[in-house]
Amino acid sequence: MAAPSKKATVVLKAVKRIAIQFSPFESNVRSTREFLAKVGSEKARATNMNCEVISVVKHDKSEPVVDITYLDGERLVMKGAKLTSSEMLSAFQSRCTAKDLQAKLAAKK
């Protein structure tokens, strides 16, 4: 059995849109930028070419926010100031996995 890899693959199949906004010069923005790098990577984008990944750079000292809209209309909003990038990715991936499972079950019926 293979050991689990440290880098989880980001799959955007169940996602319609990811909007990420942050003020780049704030000290609490690192995890949000790391999350953006993961979901915006070519490998992740290839899993759903119709998924919009939008980054909004603000200069108003606002809190970093990740707003994810799934294909079924559900939204997940994460405030990046208090979360690590791995916590954000974990929450995102667990929701995506659940949605993918729901879609597979619905297709079987």
Task: Look up the CATH number of the domain holding residue 52.
Answer: 3.40.30.10
The pLDDT tens digits along the chain (109 residues) read 343 444 557 899 999 999 999 999 999 999 999 999 999 999 999 999 999 999 999 989 899 999 999 999 999 999 999 999 999 999 999 999 998 888 888 887 7
- Residue 22 in any domain: the answer is yes
Is 104 within a domain?
A: yes
**8 Å CB contact between 10 and 47:** yes
Domain extent, residue 29, equals 15-108
**What is the predicted pLDDT for the residue at 91?**
94
Please indicate, yes or no, if residue 85 is contained in any of the structural domains.
yes
8 is a domain residue = no
How many domains are there within the chain?
1
Classify residue 10: in a domain, yes or no: no
Q: Helices 85-108 & 30-39, crossing angle to 10 degrees?
A: 40
In a domain, 66, yes or no: yes
Q: Tell me, what DSSP letter sits at residue 75?
A: E
